[in-house]
């Protein structure tokens, strides 16, 4: 126990020294990153994020929002969450991205509409960048193609749903949730007060801007001191906006690295989600699915990417030909094979659980 505390203290000391020395080692890069971060928070981010924080708080308290969220009911069923408000949370995540989705999940847990376990299981399907950022900023501005931005968003959101559904099927604790953690009695819906919603949304937005500024400064400082390849990888691990910006300048691998940056999301996004969500939510399913999300999103993006010349990318020369798309018949066979493998694995786990819980198979040593 003492060794763990000593190790944590040593890591904290090293981080404090590195972060404190970074502005002195690269003052111009850090100052420029902070100025760009303030411009981002007062401009595009303010327009694309702040209204959706208000919308998420309003929508999660409005049962009539189920009509708008009707197309997301099958997704909630695949994820294994039967709460009526689950489709509304998925709708908020699809339109607004990770921050409004985390805010909607937190509001649902506080109001008793979902248990913390259900919110944890639903969150991996919602943590992604919003369509406005992926399509307009990454696709149209950085890569020079709105079509590629649409494909990046489709690959990201599809991988989210598949990872969340797969984790729900393979998790043994999820199958016993009704017995271990019953849903509490839903509290009576409070009156909608726009003043409190606006105040809470404003505080949440200011917290998110603080994370954006801090991690953009770290990414810029690392980019000024490290080689280009290492600085790009550090930016992708730290902050998604800086990661996509540096990845779009890598030439041939620009679109693939942008897809990887959107999949990783960065430490900044994970810490923002942790700040928004209540302590009852462990976020373990979210952390577990990030490792699977990266190869899956890259595979889906490669399948969706059409065979065409690279003139659609502003960062690529015209003579470069993109990677070919998998033929439709092979793609269908691959999907069927993967589905069959997942079904067989799920059946094996269910049979093992049934044998372990069967009264006739109780171990005599356990009885003693």
Cβ atoms 92, 126 nearer than 8 A: yes
Q: How far apart are CA 114 and CA 143, in angstroms?
A: 39
State the Cα angle at 129 between 219 and 201, rounded to 5°: 95
Q: What is the pLDDT of residues 22-44, one digit of tens each?
A: 888 888 888 888 888 888 888 77
Q: What is the pLDDT of residues 94-122, one digit of tens each?
A: 988 888 889 889 888 988 888 998 899 99
- Reference 330, options 299, 309, 308; nearest CA is 299
* 1 part of a folded domain: no
- By the 10 Å C-beta count (0-12 exposed, 13-18 middle, 19+ buried), 1 is classed as exposed
Question: What sign results for the dihedral spanned by CA atoms 32, 34, 37, 42?
Answer: negative
Q: How confident is the model at residue 50 (pLDDT cuts 50, 70, 90)?
A: confident
pLDDT at 214: 87
Neighbour-count burial for 77-88, b at 16+ CB within 10 Å, e otherwise: ebbbbebbbbbb
Least confident of 120-124, 180-184, 287-291: 180-184
* 13 part of a folded domain: no
Q: What is the pLDDT of residues 224-270, one digit of tens each?
A: 888 878 888 888 888 888 888 888 888 778 889 999 999 998 888 88
pTM of the prediction?
0.73
Distances in Å between the Cα of 286 and the Cα atoms of 6, 127, 282, 289 are 28, 8, 9, 5
DSSP 8-state code for residue 350: H
Residue 81: pLDDT over 70: yes
DSSP E strands: which ranges in 228-341? none
pLDDT at 309: 36
pLDDT at 365: 41
Q: How far apart are CA 16 and CA 43, in angstroms?
A: 31
Least confident of 98-102, 116-120, 205-209, 309-313: 309-313
Cβ atoms 235, 242 nearer than 8 A: yes
Highest average pLDDT, of 44-48, 71-75, 334-338, comes from 71-75
Residue 146: pLDDT over 50: yes
Q: How far apart are CA 109 and CA 225, in angstroms?
A: 43
Structure tokens at 133: 């950022």
- Reference 53, options 262, 268, 157, 200; nearest CA is 200
Cβ atoms 201, 50 nearer than 8 A: yes
DSSP 8-state code for residue 239: -
CA dihedral 161, 165, 166, 169 (to 10 degrees): 180
Cβ atoms 72, 90 nearer than 8 A: yes
Q: What is the mean pLDDT of residues 55-65?
A: 75
* 7 part of a folded domain: no
pLDDT at 259: 92
- Reference 104, options 177, 200, 185; nearest CA is 200
- Reference 165, options 347, 339, 300, 349; nearest CA is 339
Q: What percent of the chain has pLDDT over 70?
A: 74
Domain that residue 148 falls in: 26-171+196-351
Residue 14: pLDDT over 70: yes
Structure tokens at 252: 């041939």
* 102 part of a folded domain: yes
Q: How confident is the model at residue 156 (pLDDT cuts 50, 70, 90)?
A: very high
How many domains are contained in the chain? Answer: 1
* 16 part of a folded domain: no
* 125 part of a folded domain: yes
- Reference 123, options 178, 153, 161, 95; nearest CA is 161
* 153 part of a folded domain: yes
Q: What is the pLDDT of residues 314-368, one digit of tens each?
A: 444 444 434 445 566 566 556 656 665 666 666 666 666 656 655 555 444 443 3
Q: How far apart are CA 223 and CA 191, in angstroms?
A: 49
Q: Please provide the average confidence, as pLDDT, over all residues in the chain.
A: 77
Cβ atoms 254, 247 nearer than 8 A: yes
* 322 part of a folded domain: yes
């Amino acid at each position: 126990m003492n060794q763990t505390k000593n190790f944590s203290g040593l890591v904290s000391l090293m981080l404090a020294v590195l972060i404190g020395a970074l502005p002195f080692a690269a003052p111009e890069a850090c100052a420029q990153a902070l100025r760009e971060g303030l411009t981002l928070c007062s401009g595009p981010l303010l327009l694309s994020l702040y209204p959706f924080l208000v919308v998420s708080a309003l929508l999660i308290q409005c049962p009539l929002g189920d009509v708008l969220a009707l197309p997301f009911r099958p997704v909630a069923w695949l994820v294994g969450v039967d709460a009526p408000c689950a489709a509304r949370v998925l709708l908020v995540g699809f339109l607004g991205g990770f921050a409004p989705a985390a805010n909607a999940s937190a509001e649902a847990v506080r109001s008793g509409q979902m248990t913390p376990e259900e919110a944890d299981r639903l969150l991996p399907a919602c943590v992604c960048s919003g369509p406005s950022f992926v399509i307009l900023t990454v696709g149209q501005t950085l890569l020079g193609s709105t079509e590629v931005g649409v494909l990046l968003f489709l690959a990201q959101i599809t991988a989210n749903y598949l990872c969340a559904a797969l984790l729900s099927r393979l998790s043994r604790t999820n199958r016993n949730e009704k017995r271990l953690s019953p849903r509490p009695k839903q509290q009576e819906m409070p009156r909608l007060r726009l003043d409190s919603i606006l105040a809470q949304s404003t505080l949440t937005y200011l917290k998110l801007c603080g994370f954006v500024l801090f991690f953009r400064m770290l990414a810029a400082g690392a980019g000024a001191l490290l080689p280009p390849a290492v600085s790009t990888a550090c930016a992708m691990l730290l902050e998604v906006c800086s990661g996509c910006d540096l990845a779009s300048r890598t030439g041939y691998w620009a679109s693939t690295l942008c897809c990887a940056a959107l999949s990783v999301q960065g430490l900044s996004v994970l810490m923002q989600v942790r700040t928004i969500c209540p302590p009852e939510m462990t976020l373990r399913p979210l952390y577990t699915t990030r490792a699977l999300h990266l190869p899956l999103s890259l595979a889906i993006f490669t399948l969706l990417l059409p065979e065409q010349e690279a003139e659609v990318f502003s960062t690529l020369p015209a003579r470069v030909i993109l990677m070919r798309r998998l033929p439709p018949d092979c793609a269908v066979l691959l999907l069927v094979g993967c589905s069959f493998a997942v079904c067989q694995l799920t059946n094996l786990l269910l049979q093992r659980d049934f044998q372990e819980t069967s009264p006739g198979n109780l171990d005599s040593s356990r009885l003693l």
